Amino acid sequence: MTVRDRYAPSPTGLQHIGGVRTALFNYLFARARGGTFVLRLEDTDRARSEARYVQNLYNTFAWLGFSWDEGPDRGGPFAPYVQSERFPRYRAHAEDLVARGSAYYCFCSSARLEELRAEREAAVSGGASAETGYDRRCRALGADEARRRAESGEPHTIRLKIPLGDGGNVPLTRFQDHLLGEIAWKNSDINPDPVLLKSDGFPTYHLANVVDDHLMEITHVLRAQEWLPSTPLHVILYAAFGWRPPAYCHLPMVMGQDGKKLSKRHGATSIDEFRLQGYLPEALINYVALLGASYEEGKEFYTLDELAALFSLEKLNKAPAVFDYKKLDWYNGQYIRMKDSAALAALTLPHAVAAGLFGAAGTEPDAEQRGRFEAALPLIKERITFPREAGEKLRYLFSEPPLPTREEFFPKKADRAETARLLAIARAITGDLCRAEEAEAEAIVKARAEREGVKLGDLLMPLRVAVTGARVSPPLFGSLRILGAETALARVDRAHAYLTA
């Protein structure tokens, strides 16, 4: 069988982690099986569908770096791939079901349905009845009368006939799910005779989804488990049409660490938010691909091609996947470390410009500043998780840091006078350190510490704070080389005067 699967979002909001995980798994499955990945826009919710959400979808996947083989922007043999452009097909198929006796015209007004809903809710809450939903009133109409009324222009919908049992027999709808096994669903638990075609001619999600999956020859439906309650209804629809349903695989849910469905209360969920916070697309894809799936034992980093080669439905987990922001942060930091110098500079420089590293916010660096920035990136490459952090960590190289409290200069057990003495000793070798490579600088400091009879760490602490403004900073020797002797000595002198004032 040639695999054809699809991602079928409704353009009613921004692309989020759950949707992207569904799209990614469908993409990987199609690639692993040499099949076709389809994008279909299910925009039947005309009140909430917006063009900006469609554009957000395109922008999101362009940024993530994977796409579909057929879709609204690419075309394909089953175009159009936007449901609002396929309405005549849905009406024709709904009318076909009426002709088959599997659906019927319903003439109940919205006022009657609202009254019925209120009555049934009151009965259920009062314990008098367990009945909910539509009462199937129009199902009993004769076919000729119903058609006459419909053809006369009387407002109506088309409803699906959910198969009912005889007497005490409660029919079941069964289907096989690749991950969950055989599912048996009581027809009495399915929404009673749901609307397929609204009175305005718009299809409901269920009709459009089933018709399109069949006409587009979708072989596999991989979607989140939250859609599981819709599947029995879809299986009934396939049977009513006489069609073979696709293979189903309801993917494990993505949960927060509190065990509840991932939502904004847990943090960022839209891809735009992750992007703005500085997450890299390759880190996000690598992490999301592991939410509910396994690949190779002991391996944590995968390219998109590697994921596609290894993806298998047999490696999906039944248990919900827990979204761990700390783990994602770790991935992001690791992918930053994998960047070469040019790529890291391109990634971090815009953030540094926006943060005002080179002057007012938005000021671009001159040639000297850019060179210094690029030269300093190796000092912090192992210390940043997000590109935006680079500017702040390197600010001391572009502007004189404010003096901290005097106690910040003090090595352990040292007082102010001793710290000033240590800084004076360090000043004597600062010029040499600014001109030395790492190994030579270490030798210079070690020799001076032994000569003066002081601990190496005690000698370096006040020097570090004088130069960088902090007790914890990027590597000191590299910082001194980039700053140069003149600037470094001036900062040491300022700090010494501050300690001895």
Question: What is the rounded distance in angstroms from the CA atom of residue 217 to the CA atom of residue 238?
Answer: 13
Q: Does residue 19 contact residue 227 with C-beta atoms inside 8 Å?
A: no
**Quick one: which of 49, 42, 37 has its CA closest to 85?**
42
Per annotation, catalytic residue among 186, 264, 315, 318: 264
Residue 400 DSSP code: P
From start to end of 400-498, where are the E strands? none
φ, ψ of residue 16 in degrees (nearest 5):
-125, 175
CA distance 389 to 473: 13
Which one, of 306, 313, 309, 376, lies nearest residue 348 by Cα?
A: 376
Terminal C-alpha separation, the chain: 83
For tokens 């007082």, the residue is 415
Q: Counting Cβ atoms within 10 Å, is residue 344 exposed (0-12), middle (13-18) or buried (19+)? A: buried
How does DSSP classify residue 250? E
Closest by CA position to 219, among listed 411, 474, 30, 78: 30
3-state secondary structure of 248: strand
Rounded Cα–Cα distance for residues 401 and 490 (Å): 12
Q: Is 264 marked active-site?
A: yes
Residues 6+ apart with CB under 8 A from 320: 252, 253, 254, 255, 259, 292
How far, in whole angstroms, is CA 265 from its chain's centroid? 15
Q: Which helix (H) or strand (E) holds 32?
A: helix 17-32
Dihedral, CA of residue 323, residue 14, residue 28 and residue 286, to nearest 10: -40
How far is 439 from 296, CA to CA, in rounded Å? 40
Place of tokens 């006459």: 148
For residue 215, which of 178, 246, 175, 250 has the smallest C-alpha distance?
246
Catalytic sites, residue numbers: 264
